[in-house]
Amino acid sequence: MQYQAEQSRGLAADIEQAAQVLRDADYVAVLTGAGVSAESGIATFRGAGGLWEGHRIEEVATPHAFQRDPTLVWRFYNQRRTKLCAVKPNPGHHALAQLEEQRGSERFALITQNVDGLHRAAGSRHVLELHGSLARIRCSGCGQVDERPPEDPLPDLPTCDECRALLRPDIVWFEEPLPEDVWTEAAECAARSDVFLVAGTSAVVYPAARLVPIAKSAGAVIVEINLTATEASQWVDFGLYGPSGQILPRLTRWRAAGR
């Protein structure tokens, strides 16, 4: 009990200190992962009950899987799209949107591995989606990309109105490169940042995870928000361990009060 109280006193002091550094920063960049959406009710990828549990990645999230069994791949992504209709941003998403609002988008970038659109739904504007979006489809034939919000259901095996080829989710699959323009901008924002927040990611998927050492080696203060230590923890100056839906509002609320 006493240990817990000491731990939370330590956490409160760390949040306060990190918030001060955040307040003084000229440019802030954030990298988020699935953990930021966990409190909205979206399963993370790894670990017990994770989204990959019960699915081999090679069966649902590679170009080869789509070639082999597009029906299975679409079933997986259509289930994820349906799930999105029932979820909302949580206080962690709102805190990051508010941080951008306070600072101005020209001094802030939100880089996300998430494909759920919840950062934009919360009001974030300078969002760089490294792994694509569940709300977009791309033609596997002519390459045309279109918005297709999850509320607008897709058939089991959707095809392109123009060229009749199969549509695919506009998601970056394993073995595929990231969109070059998005990655270049993300790496520039990371290198430019004075404070780099890394929230709710296991930091095991590359190249996204590389943004942390990129920011660190360019001189940023690294703040990790997660339930546990991760692969990114080796770079971290402040480790704030707890649910991001609770920690992020505390980190940014303090900022507003301390202005």
The secondary structure of residue 159, as a DSSP letter, is B
Q: Which of residues 195-254 bind ligand OAD (CB under 6 A)?
A: 200-202, 205, 226-228, 230, 243-244
Which residue is listed with tokens 């989606």? 129
Q: How far is the CB of 29 from ligand OAD (least distance, A)?
A: 16
What lies within 8 Å, CB to CB, of 208 at 6+ separation is 31, 33, 111, 113, 130, 131, 178, 201
User: 237 - beta bridge partners?
Assistant: none
Q: How far is the CB of 244 from ligand OAD (least distance, A)?
A: 4
Q: How far is the CB of 164 from ligand OAD (least distance, A)?
A: 27
- CA-nearest of 79, 171, 184, 176 to 128 is 184
- CA-nearest of 53, 32, 45 to 95 is 32
Contact between 33 and ligand OAD per CB under 6 A: yes
**At 154, is the secondary structure helix, strand, or coil?**
coil
Q: How far is the CB of 54 from ligand OAD (least distance, A)?
A: 14
9: which 2 tokens?
A: 């006193």
Spatial separation of the C-alpha atoms in residues 126 and 117, rounded to whole Å: 13
Contact between 133 and ligand OAD per CB under 6 A: no
Of residues 93, 94, 126, 131, which has the active-site annotation? 131
Our CB check for ligand OAD shows the closer of 27 and 52 to be: 52
Number of residues that bind ligand OAD (CB under 6 A): 23
Q: Contacting ligand OAD (CB under 6 A), which of 93, 94, 131, 216? A: 131
Cα within 13 Å of Cα(41), Cβ side: 9
Site string for ligand OAD, 64-103 (x = CB under 6 A): ----------------------------------------
Q: Which of residues 43-62 bind ligand OAD (CB under 6 A)?
A: 44-46, 50, 61
**Phi-psi sector, 107: left (phi>0), alpha (psi -120 to 50), beta:** alpha
**At 238, is the secondary structure helix, strand, or coil?**
strand
20: which 2 tokens?
A: 């001060």
Q: Residue 131 catalytic?
A: yes
Our CB check for ligand OAD shows the closer of 163 and 229 to be: 229
Residue closest to ligand OAD when measured from CB atoms: 35
Contact between 172 and ligand OAD per CB under 6 A: yes
Our CB check for ligand OAD shows the closer of 166 and 227 to be: 227
What lies within 8 Å, CB to CB, of 184 at 6+ separation is none
Binding site for ligand OAD (CB under 6 A): 33-35, 38-39, 44-46, 50, 61, 113, 131, 172, 200-202, 205, 226-228, 230, 243-244
Catalytic residue numbers read 131
